[in-house]
Amino acid sequence: VQLQACGGGSVQAGGSLRLSCAASGSIFSIDYMGWYRQAPGKQRELVAGMSSVVSPNYSDSVKGRFIISRDNAKNTVYLQMNSLKPEDTAVYYCNADIRTTWGSRHDSWGQGTQLTVSS
């Protein structure tokens, strides 16, 4: 199984961007899907996450500006980012808890996509 993230880029402060991340492979089900980010010199942090049974949760720094959603039919998670700030600049990673058709469970990570917000 693998996750492919895309949608990063450069944007001015106040702008918007949407990230997407699609899971592929022998997928039976996906429970949790989320987005993390890592800025230079900092630890990776949770941005937003959602599961099939729990409401979406957001870090305080993005609450009210970012929206996580998913399309279960496409095994894809999205992150709509609005009112972007320079401090949102980071590499964004998607993460998913995937159960395969052969019964194994994988904590999978995407390759990361860069977001740069200029002031």
Q: State the pLDDT at residue 55.
A: 87
**Which pair of structure tokens corresponds to residue 88?**
């949102």
High-pLDDT (> 70) share of the chain, %: 100
Residue 118, SS3 per DSSP? strand
**pLDDT value, residue 21:** 97
Residue 48: count of CB within 10 angstroms of its CB: 23
Average pLDDT, the chain: 96
Question: What amino acid occupies position 106?
Answer: H
